[in-house]
Amino acid sequence: MVSRLNPYISFAGNAKEALEFYKSVFGGSLVMNSFADFGAPDGTEGIMHGMLEADNGFTLMASDTPPGMEHNPGTNITISLSGEDAAELRGYWDALGDGATVTVPLEKQMWGDEFGSLIDRFGIGWLVNISSPQG
């Protein structure tokens, strides 16, 4: 089995909404299990584990922070998307920008690539870098 590294984001009660939003951005297959699905006591609500596997190979995992644990949204993760497919990456940028705060507009930078960053409506930071064609 191949090892892989992918982001795992913790939310404060809105993991289901966030994962459904990310599915609308990236497509793919989304599986979510609630705390109740794993036998948590009554009153424990939310997603214990969710995984989005997009058709392009992206994998994003997330959960709601369990009761009693501290949640610090957006301060412990930033997700980077990079590549040469400008249309695909601009599409992700536009979709993630719904309700987001743009911290750096997606535009040509001094190193030659197009780059932008934003904080999405769930408090998650995203970096998008569109590589210049090598020639």
Domain co-membership, 82 together with 60 = no
Domain co-membership, 45 together with 17 = yes
> How sure is the predictor about 66, in pLDDT bands with cuts at 50, 70 and 90?
confident
Q: What is the pLDDT of residue 43?
A: 64
Output the domain CATH number for residue 87: 3.10.180.10
Q: How many domains does the chain have?
A: 2
Q: What is the pLDDT of residue 8?
A: 87
Q: What is the pLDDT of residue 17?
A: 96
pLDDT at residue 3 tops 70: no
Q: Give percent helix, percent strand, percent coil of the chain, each to the nearest 5.
A: 20, 35, 45
How many Å apart are CA 53 and CA 61, to the nearest integer? 9
Mean pLDDT is lowest, of 42-56, 80-94, 95-109, for: 42-56
Sign of CA dihedral 88, 27, 71, 63: negative
Distance between first and last Cα of the chain: 36
Domain co-membership, 59 together with 19 = yes
Per-residue b or e along 55-64, where b marks 16 or more CB atoms closer than 10 Å to that residue's CB: eeebebebbb
Q: What is the pLDDT of residue 5?
A: 73
User: Which residues, in sequence order, are CB contacts of 88 under 8 Å at separation 6+?
Assistant: 56
Q: In this structure, is residue 33 part of a structural domain?
A: yes
User: Which residues, in sequence order, are CB contacts of 27 under 8 Å at separation 6+?
Assistant: 54, 55, 56
Domain co-membership, 40 together with 85 = no
Q: In this structure, is residue 2 part of a structural domain?
A: no
SS3 label, residue 13: coil
Domain co-membership, 124 together with 96 = yes
Q: In this structure, is residue 37 part of a structural domain?
A: yes
Q: What is the pLDDT of residue 45?
A: 78
pLDDT at residue 33 tops 60: yes
Q: What is the pLDDT of residue 42?
A: 67
Q: In this structure, is residue 85 part of a structural domain?
A: yes
Question: For residue 25, what are the domain limits?
Answer: 8-64
